[in-house]
Structure 1
Amino acid sequence: MVMDIKDIMNTIPHRSPFLLVDRIEEMEEGKRIVGKKCVTYNEPFFAGHFPQEPVMPGVLIIEALAQTGAVCALSADEYKGKIAFLGGVNKAKFRGKVVPGDVLTLEVEMIKVKGPVGVAKGTATVDGKKVASAEITFMIG
């Protein structure tokens, strides 16, 4: 299944400048998803992080993973029209910089889901190189 930006905005409530996933390239509903974020110099966070050497903040990479996971979780019929809230982040690791011109690949796999609460494993890569990973807890409300 492939989703464009309009489909993503129909699934999660995030909007510019805080919508951090541009398209979905693969998805097994409620199980696994692969999204992309095309990082441009025009991202508002680059004005202050850092003007001399623009680097995407790690917390926003985690947020991009969480938003991608939310698209996957909310694709299930029982959760359509609801909102996924970030409940926690564990085991976050950062291994590289994300800079203007990079295409961030966001892969999220659901580890366990029980009712409206779940845990997912997310990995962010650029050109096949892992730049970040985390375990994300979410709640659907």
Structure 2
Amino acid sequence: MNQTLTVTEVKELIPNRFPILYIDKVTSLLAGKEIVAEKQLTYNEDFCQSQPDNPHMPGTLVLETLAQAGSILILKSPEFLGQTAYIGGIKAAHFYELVRPGNTLTLRFTITKMKGNVGTANAVATIADRKVADCIFTFIVGAN
């Protein structure tokens, strides 16, 4: 069943809060399989203030935003209810384009393999269907 989530519902799932909550909404969620979420960038972001002549979202924060989307997907999957998701590794990270204020960052996190409480996922960030970053995450799901 496909779900959508508001930022209020996202905050009920993950512990991140301002200024490090980067998911504004979930546009599609297929539990245990895939999530599509969005982040609307503004000039008011903390990271833009530290680089006023070239405001953009650092690549590490793009990966963090993908990881937050993945956490939401994992925590909405019935087999992991009440548990916490952790990043175990990031492989083959690539950055193709800067993410700037005014951009809507679309985040897709697709689980490709699960074995026990360890899994892998393909993660892709896009702006208007242009790939800006991608990587492969290894994640671990454990008790709180």
- TM class by shorter chain equals over 0.9
Q: What SS does the aligned partner of 1:69 have?
A: helix
The residue aligned with 1:135 is: 136
Length, aligned pairs only: 140
For structure 2, which runs of at least 5 residues remain unmatched after alignment? Answer: none
Segments of 4+ moved more than 6 angstroms: none
Identical amino acids, percent of aligned pairs: 39
- Provide TM-score, normalisation by structure 1: 0.95
Cα distance between partner residues in 2 of 1:81 and 1:8: 14
For structure 1, which runs of at least 5 residues remain unmatched after alignment? Answer: none
Would you say the 8 A contact 1:37–1:105 is kept in 2? yes
**Higher strand proportion (structure 1 or 2):** 2
- Provide TM-score, normalisation by structure 2: 0.94
Deviation track 1:1-41 (CA, whole Å, cap 9, x = no partner) reads: 11001111111111111111110001110101100000111
Cα distance between partner residues in 1 of 2:16 and 2:88: 17
Cα distance between partner residues in 2 of 1:9 and 1:114: 28
Cα distance between partner residues in 2 of 1:14 and 1:61: 15
Cα distance between partner residues in 2 of 1:15 and 1:83: 16
The residue aligned with 1:26 is: 28
RMSD across aligned C-alpha pairs, in angstroms? Answer: 0.9
The residue aligned with 2:18 is: 16
